[in-house]
Amino acid sequence: MSALTTTRPEIGAAAKSPRSTRRQRSLHARGSARWVLGIPLILFLALLVAYPIGNGVISSLQNHTLLNPNPTWTGFSNYVRILTDSNFWDALSFTVVYTVLVTSIELVLGFLLALVFDRPFPGRRFLLSALILPIMIAPALMGIMFRLLLSQNIGVIPALLQALGINISLLSASTVIPLLVVLDVVQWTSFTFLLFHAALQGVPAELEEAAQLDRASRARFVFSILIPLLAPTIFITGFLRAIDAFRAFDTINVLTAGGPGTTTTTLSIYVYKILSSGDFGLASAASVVIAIIVLPIIPFVIRRITDGATS
């Protein structure tokens, strides 16, 4: 964090300094540049952010479907349909359970791994590189790989289980949720690890030496010093993971398409199913509802993420 807080004086303060005339002149010259350089971003915001949001909200208030290209206003009836749809509530509860499970497991595992990697051991550099690779694999392709691995016909894992006398389908209703959680953990623990690892490297070595002098055990050191010290990092990492898990789509859609039945339908898959059925107005309404669920927590996270880059 400290590396990014530069010593640059605020522009307003600089204007009052003895060098104010030069500063002001250069500021004036930069006045137009500021906007010229910002043009691509402004276009982006207008065309790919503001316009789609407006379009989405409008279509959520209309009976816009594949067969009805000239929609009329229907007020909030799409929203009523979403909020009275039991599938929506099922999807919401599955998504929340899934989010809480994967986020907590990944935080704990990532932190433990980071602690291990905080001390030198043979092969550390190599393992560190290997641990980052799961992030680089497309989640959808990860889903396909596990589809191969778990297939009843050709997969290694069902065959191994059968050899051990266990005859269950891992994609059946009772085992599929733990399976998806494991998959997410396999892919994204790397992410929490990476952030914790970076944060641990910023902890001065003197702290641990002092703790050792006081004869504090390693566990005591971790719980009483490291965890409180890294609380902001843990908090933001957890939020980032939770927000991503909350919109989980790729792996699950490839692997189970939300099934069996609707057991693994996340909110994103729920919207996707409505969209595929051609009911655009209803899909818009559902996506607006999901955005509204997430919106309240965004300001908390944002301030912490952007602090380093703006202050």
Q: Which of residues 217-256 bind another protein (CB under 8 A)?
A: 233, 236-237, 240, 243, 246-247, 249-250, 253-254
Residue 265 Cβ vs another protein, minimum distance, rounded to whole Å: 13
Size of the site for another protein (CB under 8 A): 93
Residue 216 Cβ vs another protein, minimum distance, rounded to whole Å: 27
Contact 191, 106 (CB under 8 A): yes
Select from 44-52, 72-80, 108-116, 218-226 the region that touches another protein (CB under 8 A): 44-52
Comparison of 189 and 287: residue with beta carbon closer to another protein: 287
Comparison of 132 and 210: residue with beta carbon closer to another protein: 132
Comparison of 125 and 218: residue with beta carbon closer to another protein: 125
Among 53, 80, 108, 207, binds another protein (CB under 8 A): 53
Contact 247, 20 (CB under 8 A): no
Among 17, 26, 104, 277, binds another protein (CB under 8 A): 26
- Residue 46 binding another protein, by CB under 8 A: no
Residue 173 Cβ vs another protein, minimum distance, rounded to whole Å: 21
- Residue 275 binding another protein, by CB under 8 A: yes
- Residue 82 binding another protein, by CB under 8 A: no
- Residue 64 binding another protein, by CB under 8 A: yes
Among 194, 211, 226, 245, binds another protein (CB under 8 A): 194
Among 108, 141, 173, 227, binds another protein (CB under 8 A): 141
